[in-house]
Chain A
Amino acid sequence: MSTAVLEVSELTVRFPVGAARLPVVDGVALRLERGKTLALVGESGCGKSMTALALMRLVPKPGRIEAGSIQLEGEEIRELPVAAMRKIRGGRIAMIFQEPMTSLNPVRRVGVQVVEAIRLHEKISRPDARRRAIELFERVGIADAPTRFETYPHQLSGGLRQRVMIAMAIATHPAVLLADEPTTALDVTIQAQILELLRELQRSEGTAILLITHDLGVVAESADRVAVMYAGRVVEEASCRELLRAPRHPYSRALLAAMPAAARPGARLAEIPGTVPPPAQWEQGCRFAPRCEFAVENCRQTVPPLLAFGAGRGVACPIVAAGPCP
C-alpha cells in the first residue's frame, strides 16, 4: 500500500443552530494517495463540500471543526496556526469549485488572479510570475493564452473559466487537489474535457485528487476509490471497481440503482424512497434507517461504525457486514 498524502480521521464539523450543535460532518475518515483519485459521492446536503472546506480549514462561520485529525504528508494540520495554514492553502492543498461563474473575482482580470496565486507562495518577480501564468494557461489548454490572460471572467465561457481555476490551483504544484463538483455546471463535452485535463495533470504531477461529485458516471471514469457519504457520515468506502460492481451499503445500492445507466431500457428508474433529512432531524442511530428496507430496531439505536468488509473495504452497516447479503 502506498503512503497517504492526506489522511483524515474522525473529522467532525458542527454548526450551532439554536441550542443544538449539528454535526454536518460526523466522524469522517478519508485517505488520499499520491497520484490517485478518491471520489466522494452522496446526495445534495450530505456534507461533501463541508468536508473539503474542513480539509482547508475554511469552514464558514459559525461552523467549526470540533474533532478529528487531518494529516498532510505526516504533519497534523488541524491545530496549525493561521499563518502556517495560509501557506498550505493554495500551496500544498489547492481547491477548485463547482461554480466557475462566480468563483473568480469579477472585477479583476483572470491573469492577475493566477499571478496572485503564484506570488502568494513564491518569491518571484511580477514579469516572471506573468510568464509562468501564461505557461499555465497553455498547460490547461487555453488557446491564445496571452490574450485570454487579459480578459475578465465574464468574457470567458464556463469551460474556460474552470480551466483558469485549474491553472490557478496547479500553479504551485500542490500535493492535494480538492475538486468540488468541478464539472457539474458545465455541459457534457466540456465536462469530459475537464476531467481528461485533471487526469492528465494527475499523471504528470502525481497529485492526489479528492473528486466530489454526485455523478456516478464521473466516478466510473475518473476515480480509483470511492467514499459514499450520507447525512454527514461515510457509509461505504471501497475501490471504484468493486463499489460500482457490487455496492454493499443499502444506501450505496439505492444510489447506484437510481443511476440512469443502471436501469435497463424500458425498466422503471429506481428511486430512493423518502428524502435526505435535514441535519436537525437526524436520528441518533443509523441516519439512513428511516429510508432503509433492511432496517431493524437496533439500527435506530446505535451508530454503526465503518466495519471492514473484505480487503480494503468498509461498510457502515452491521446487517450487510454480518453475512449473506440480504
Chain B
Amino acid sequence: MIAFILRRLAFGAATVGGVLTFLFMLFFLYATPEDMARRALGDKAPPQAISTWIANHGYDRPLAWNPDAPADTLLVEHFRRSLSFDFGRSDADGMPIYQRIREGVGPSLALTLPLFVLGLLFSVALGLVVATFRDSYIDRAGLVLCVLTMSLSILLYIIGGQWLLGTVLRWFPVSGFDTDPAMLLRFVALPVLVGVFVSFGEQTRFYRTLFVEETSRDYVRTARAKGCGDGRVMWRHVLPNALIPIVTHVVVAIPLLFTGSILLESFFGIPGLGSMTVEAIHGNDFATLRAMVFLGSLLFIAAQIATDVLYTLLDPRIRLG
C-alpha cells in the first residue's frame, strides 16, 4: 500500500513537471515576452517602453541557456517560482498573486462547496429513487425532469433566476458578495440554486445508470432471495458497490471547487478565483493566468492520486503491492 502510494506520487511529480514544461512553452516560447509586452502596452508602444516592461516583469533573462549563470534563465526561474508557490506579482496591477489567490479562494469555496455537496446529495438520492422504481411512472417522471433541466442553457437559468427570484419575488439579492455569514448566505443562495439545477439532470441520469447496472448483478438476486426488501437491497448492497465508481466520479471534481466557477462567479459578482481568471484574461495578466493553470493542474493531479487510494480502500478486491 505504501509502495503504491509512493509510486503514484512519483507519477504525479512527473506529471507536474510535464505541466510546467507545457506552460513554459505556451507562455515563453509560443507567446514571447515581447508579445506579452505588446499585448499589455498596445501595438503603438515605443520600443523603449516595451523593453522597460519586460525588464520590470523580470522577463529579460535568457530563455533557457545562460553560460555565465546557468541558473539565471526564464526556464529555471519558472520552475523554481511555481514549485515554491512564489508566483510573483500580477502583470496587470503589480499586486502579489499569492495574496490575490488567498483572497479569492474563500468566496469561490463559499459558492462551489455548497453547490458540490447539495448537488451530489440531491442527484445521488434522486438516482437511487428512480433506480429503485425503474420502469415505473416515478422513473419516467424523473426522466422528463432531468431531460428538461438538461436541455435549457445555463444562461437561461442564471438570467431567469435573477429576474424571477431576485427582481420580481425579491427573495435573494440579484448579485454581489459579503463576508458577513448571514449576508453571505443570502448572496450565495441563488447561484447555488442555479448551479444545482443546471447539473442535477445529467448527474442523476449518470447515477441512475450506475445503480441500475448494479441491480442486475448476481449478488443482488442473492440479497432478494434472502428476503431483503427494495430499500435494503439499494442501501446495503447496491450503494456500497456503486460507491466505487461514484467516488471516482466525485473526487475528480473536487479540485475544480477551488478554482471556482467562472460563469456563476462572473454573473453573480462573486470575487472568487473564477472572476479573477476572467479578469486576468481580459487584462493580459499572464503571470496570474500561469499561476491559475498551474494550481488547477496540481489540484487535479492530487485528486487523481486520492481517487486511486480511495479506490483501494473501498474495494476489498483491489490489493496493491
The smallest C-beta distance from A119 to any residue of chain B, in angstroms, reads 10
A126 vs B225: C-alpha distance in the bound complex, in angstroms? Answer: 21
For B219, the closest partner residue in chain A by CB is A105
Query: A301 at the A/B interface (Cβ < 8 Å)?
Result: no
What residues on B are CB-neighbors of A104 within 8 Å?
Answer: 219, 222
* B219 pairs with A102, CB closer than 8 A: yes
A116-B236, A152-B317, A165-B222 given as contacts; is B228 within 8 A of A102 (CB)? no
Q: Which of B216-253 contact A (CB under 8 A)?
A: 217-219, 221-229, 236-237, 240-241, 243-244
A89-B227, A116-B226 given as contacts; is B316 within 8 A of A103 (CB)? no
What residues on A are CB-neighbors of B314 within 8 Å?
Answer: 107
What residues on B are CB-neighbors of A95 within 8 Å?
Answer: 225
Contact with B along A53-79 (1 / 0, CB 8 A): 000101001100000000000000000
Query: A106 at the A/B interface (Cβ < 8 Å)?
Result: yes
The smallest C-beta distance from A313 to any residue of chain B, in angstroms, reads 32
The smallest C-beta distance from A129 to any residue of chain B, in angstroms, reads 13
Q: Which of B194-228 contact A (CB under 8 A)?
A: 217-219, 221-228
* A58 pairs with B222, CB closer than 8 A: no
For A151, the closest partner residue in chain B by CB is B316
A90 vs B227: C-alpha distance in the bound complex, in angstroms? Answer: 5
* A106 pairs with B227, CB closer than 8 A: no
What residues on B are CB-neighbors of A108 within 8 Å?
Answer: 237, 240
Interface residues on A, range: 20 to 34
A140 vs B236: C-alpha distance in the bound complex, in angstroms? Answer: 26
A168 vs B227: C-alpha distance in the bound complex, in angstroms? Answer: 11
* B221 pairs with A87, CB closer than 8 A: no
| Residue of A117, A121, A152 contacting most chain B CB atoms (<10 Å) | A117
* B227 pairs with A87, CB closer than 8 A: yes
| Residue of B225, B241, B244 contacting most chain A CB atoms (<10 Å) | B225
Partner of B316, one of A87, A89, A107, A120: A107
Q: Which of B98-131 contact A (CB under 8 A)?
A: none
Query: A132 at the A/B interface (Cβ < 8 Å)?
Result: no
What residues on B are CB-neighbors of A62 within 8 Å?
Answer: 135
* B241 pairs with A106, CB closer than 8 A: yes
Query: B315 at the A/B interface (Cβ < 8 Å)?
Result: yes
What residues on B are CB-neighbors of A214 within 8 Å?
Answer: none
A90 vs B317: C-alpha distance in the bound complex, in angstroms? Answer: 27
* B226 pairs with A89, CB closer than 8 A: yes
A86 vs B225: C-alpha distance in the bound complex, in angstroms? Answer: 8
What residues on B are CB-neighbors of A23 within 8 Å?
Answer: none
What residues on A are CB-neighbors of B221 within 8 Å?
Answer: 58, 97, 103
For B240, the closest partner residue in chain A by CB is A107
* B226 pairs with A90, CB closer than 8 A: yes
* B316 pairs with A105, CB closer than 8 A: no
Contact with B along A173-198 (1 / 0, CB 8 A): 00000000000000000000000000
Interface residues of A (CB under 8 A from B): 56, 58, 61-62, 82-83, 86-91, 94-95, 97, 99, 102-108, 116-117, 120-121, 152, 154, 165, 168
| 7 pairs from A and B in contact (CB 8 Å cutoff) | A56-B224, A102-B219, A107-B241, A107-B317, A117-B226, A117-B227, A121-B227
Interface residues of B (CB under 8 A from A): 135, 217-219, 221-229, 236-237, 240-241, 243-244, 314-317
Given contacts A91-B227, A120-B226, 18 further A-B pairs with CB under 8 A are: A58-B221, A58-B224, A62-B135, A83-B229, A89-B224, A89-B227, A90-B227, A95-B225, A99-B218, A103-B219, A103-B222, A106-B241, A106-B316, A106-B317, A107-B315, A116-B228, A116-B236, A154-B317
